[in-house]
């Protein structure tokens, strides 16, 4: 649970970072101050400092977590990182909805973008999973990714579909459909897989690179294509 910095702690970290005290006094929110001071510190020193100090602003920060340089966060008190997880450089975590949870020993790779999107939205990733570089996950109505899931780079999950049935109204005024996405344990998603609203991908399934998943994939199925179709079972 996040704990506010004391006055002495604020002064110590500002001095340690060599920052301008007058400028730092303008940044009253700890959740903005600490990333301002520590976000770009490179190498092992940066990882050590973020592991030491980000517990003040995150909802929870497990032992042995690694947070790379350039990681940005919105509403960090709703972000929970379990023990041993890794958030690589240039990842963005936006938890202005119901929150983001990353499980133990899971890796979120370089340049990925996770946004829980709205008040009902959330993103939960289980333990020992892997989210490849430059993946994008929107959390409308919820995204649940299980344990031991492997997602190759550039995965996209969007639990939302615009409605465009009427010609008499602007598309942006017609709203959309939102429904939770579930990816069960031990799933492998190839590079650039797209997963859309309301889909469940069953335990042990494999989805080929470049596939667009619009319907449920049963457990242990191997699927590929646009749209994804079942090729065989493991």
Q: What angle do CA 230, 233, 234 make, to 5 degrees?
A: 140
Phi, psi angles (nearest 5°) of residue 105: 60, 25
Query: Domains in the chain and their CATH numbers?
Result: 1-55 (no CATH), 58-233 (2.160.10.10)
For the chain, list residues with pLDDT below 50: none
The whole-number pLDDT of residue 24 equals 93
Catalytic, 105? Answer: no
| CA-based max dimension of the chain | 64
Which one of the listed residues 56, 92, 124, 162 is annotated catalytic? Answer: 162
Mind listing the pLDDT tens digit for each residue in 133-148? 999 999 988 999 999 9
35-69: pLDDT as tens digits? 999 999 999 999 999 999 999 999 999 999 999 99
């Amino acid at each position: 649970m996040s704990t506010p910095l004391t006055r002495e702690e604020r002064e110590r970290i500002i001095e340690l970072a060599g920052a301008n005290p007058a400028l730092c006094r303008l940044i009253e929110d700890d959740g903005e101050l600490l990333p301002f001071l520590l976000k770009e510190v490179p190498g092992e020193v940066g990882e050590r400092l973020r592991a030491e100090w980000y517990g003040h602003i995150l909802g929870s920060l497990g032992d042995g977590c690694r947070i790379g340089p350039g990681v940005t966060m919105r509403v960090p008190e709703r972000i929970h990182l379990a023990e041993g997880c890794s958030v690589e450089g240039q990842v963005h975590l936006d938890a202005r909805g119901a929150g983001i949870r990353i499980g133990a020993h899971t890796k979120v790779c370089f340049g990925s973008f996770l946004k829980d999107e709205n008040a009902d939205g959330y993103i939960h990733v289980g333990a020992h999973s892997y989210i490849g570089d430059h993946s994008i996950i929107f959390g409308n109505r919820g995204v649940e990714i299980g344990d031991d899931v492997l997602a190759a780079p550039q995965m996209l999950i969007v639990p939302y579909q615009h409605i465009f049935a009427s010609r008499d109204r602007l598309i942006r005024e017609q709203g959309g459909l939102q429904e939770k996405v579930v990816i069960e344990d031990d799933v492998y998603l190839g590079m650039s897989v797209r997963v859309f609203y309301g889909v469940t991908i069953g335990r042990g399934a494999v989805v080929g690179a470049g596939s667009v998943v619009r319907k449920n994939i049963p457990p242990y199925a191997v699927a590929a294509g646009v749209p994804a179709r079942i090729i065989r079972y493991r």
